[in-house]
Every structure is written in structure tokens, then in C-alpha cells.
Amino acid sequence: MSVNPMSKNLSGKTRKAVIAALDMSSADFDVEPLLDELELLLGNLGVTSVGRIIQKRDHPDAGCFLGIGKAEEAALFCASVGAGLIVCNGQLAPGQRATLSKITKCEVWDRAFVIMKIFERRARSQEAKLQVERALCAYEIPYLKGLGRAMSRLGGGIGTRGPGETEFERHRRKLERRLRDISGKLRVIRDRRRLSRERRAKERFPVISLAGYTNSGKSTLLRRLSGDETLIAEDRLFSTLDTFIRGVRLPSGRTILVADTVGFIRDLPHSLIDAFRATLEEICQSSLILLVLDAGAPDCLETFRVVTTTLGDIGAGEVRRIVLLNKTDTCREEDVVQLRERIAGDEDVVLPVSAVDGSGVDSLLRYLDEFFQQEEKP
């Protein structure tokens, strides 16, 4: 167990959390970078990590994620650092969360819940709010049984199905009804997006999508390409949850449409992918994907793998793409050259750009012009 020394300088109002993770040989990612990312995610919620608990296991404990002995150690550790929250880097089953909370006397979150809470905080438009609420409802239903004895007492009165209905059943019916209502509204949005795509296709406006890891600079790049200074581009995780489409003029005078979409992250919860299906369909229906990477990130190659895997998961794996090494103003030229050599393959064209200072953007626009001219040839 390790303690974050920065916690000593925090005010008493700051919420403290201990991060817990399993170091499994079969895991897709190294545990330390995942915990660094989780710590950053929590920081976006105003929660400070004051320590880490890492346990080597072949698989999660079926009862409480961590082994019972390690969970008991975690209880003492949390008490010693004044943490009232444990955040597990895996996704917890309802029973695991309830048991771990009972042993440690702490509130327990998992990675999926943290990501959804950030989405909830970032959502601005009605569509984004509906999509996040749908994901949270779908997430909450399986956990109702773990809410304690209060949920198992009998309910009665207006709005229930008689004295034999438990609080759990009543709350579940309420959530399921809300899920159906939200799903219906999102279907309307989905149909509206489909009609918009069909209209753009008739008007022969090619649409390309920006896709990439969260905070890779997609919004800043769209602002640079379109010249629209009103677009919000912030240096924080998931600053964009809505789809923004702007016209971009190419050197030949042709106008194309470029769509900015929600960023990806490791272990993006499936409930969020399902909820944002209407938004993500813009990527699937694109003529071309601009896959944006942060060239200065130490885990650039790993995030490239995460993004390509996620594109495959949402049905966009076969859409042609160009890989953009963004933020080249933050790294050495030789590092960019090495990244291009490691990423470039038979199918991927890799271009270096900087959305901040504009370097490489003219070359990108010329490439897009040539690409669509070739597309029009019989």
C-alpha cells in the first residue's frame, strides 16, 4: 500500500479516496498507468487519491473483488489516512461492492461509475444529458439488491402494486420505466440524425469524423480547421460529449464537413457506448476517420490500440482512416519520426500536426483534397 504525500496539504473539505486494483497477468494493460489515469479521473470529480492498494491475483475474488484478508487491510489503511471512499479499477458486481463496503466501512465505487459521473458533470445539451442518464439507470438497476435492508421492506400506498411490493421492486420499476422513456426519446434523436445524414449525402457533402482518446486535442483541431473560434476546446477529460459538425474549406475550394465526437478511454463502460449509440453512429457513417493521437503522451501507442479497438466495437473498424499525431509542438522531432514508423502500416497514413500552432494543418488539408478527388474518379 502506498500513500500520496500530497494529501497532507489538502483542506479538510476535500474528499479523500483510496484506489484499489488487481495486478493480473492476464490483464490487457499495466496496472500503474491505469491507476494514474483513474487518479486523474477522480481529480476531475474533486476527489483526491490518498493511497493505492494493489493485490496480485489471477482473478478477482468472487465475494469482494479483493481477497478478504486484503479487504480487511484496506479497512485499516483507509481509517489511517482518513479516506471514506474506495475506488476499484475494475468493474464490480453488486455483491462485490456490497461486501467490500461492509468490510471497509467505506463507500465503494468502480471505474465505470467514475467515468459515468464525469460524463454526467460534462453533459451540456439535452441529448447528452439523456444519454448519460440512460447509462446511469442501466448501471444502477443491478445494484439495487445491494442497497441494504431498506430496500427489502414492504411498501404500500399510491404508486405501488400493493402492500406486498418491496421498495426494491418499486424502485426497479421506476428505473425501468425511466429507461424506456429515455430510450424512446433517443430513438427520435437517432432518426433525426439519420435524416440529416441522408440530406447531407444528397447534397454531396462528404463527412469525416474526428475520433481519438479523450483530451487528444480533437476539439482544438476542429477549431483550427474550421476557423470557428466559438468552439469550446478545454484541456480536460471529456470536454466534448456532443457531436459538433463544422464546414472546412479545402485548397481546391471544395467544402467538407468535419464532426467532433466524444473521446474514448480505456475500459469505456458498455452502458455508455450503448447510450451514446446515436452520437457514435456519426463515426460509423463517415467517409473517413481522422484518428487523433497525443504525440507527446508517454502511452501514445497504447492509446492508439484502445481507440482502434473501440472503433471496432462500435462498428467503425472498416471505415478508412488517417492517423494524426497531434500536439507535435510538445515533443521532439525524432520522437515523432519514431512514432510514425511504428504506427504506419499498409492501411494507415500517418501525418504530424499541431492544432495549437497550426503546423502540418496545410499538408493535412491538401491530403484531404487529393483523397476526395480520387474518390470522385470513375
Give tens-digit pLDDT for 242-262. Answer: 678 899 999 999 999 999 888
**pLDDT average, residue stretch 46-61:** 92
Tell whether the model's pLDDT for residue 10 goes beyond 80.
no
Q: What is the pLDDT of residue 141?
A: 79
Tell whether the model's pLDDT for residue 11 goes beyond 50.
no
Dihedral angle over CA of 366, 371, 372, 373, nearest 10: 80
Report the share of the chain in percent with pLDDT over 70: 84
What are the cell numbers at 100?
467490500
pLDDT band at 9 (very low <50, low <70, confident <90, very high): very low
Tell whether the model's pLDDT for residue 198 goes beyond 90.
no
**pLDDT average, residue stretch 185-206:** 77
Give tens-digit pLDDT for 149-162. Answer: 444 444 444 444 44
Q: Which residue has the higher pLDDT, 272 or 260?
A: 260
- Say whether pTM exceeds 0.75: yes
Tell whether the model's pLDDT for residue 292 goes beyond 60.
yes
| Every domain of the chain and the residues it spans | 2-6+14-112, 123-183, 204-376
pLDDT band at 229 (very low <50, low <70, confident <90, very high): confident
Report the share of the chain in percent with pLDDT over 90: 40
The CATH code of domain 204-376 reads 3.40.50.300
Give tens-digit pLDDT for 321-374. Answer: 999 999 999 999 999 999 898 887 656 789 999 999 999 999 999 999 999 888
Tell whether the model's pLDDT for residue 163 goes beyond 80.
no
Q: What is the pLDDT of residue 162?
A: 47
**pLDDT average, residue stretch 300-305:** 91
The CATH code of domain 2-6+14-112 reads 3.40.50.11060
Q: What is the pLDDT of residue 201?
A: 67
Q: What is the pLDDT of residue 5?
A: 38
Q: What is the pLDDT of residue 277?
A: 73
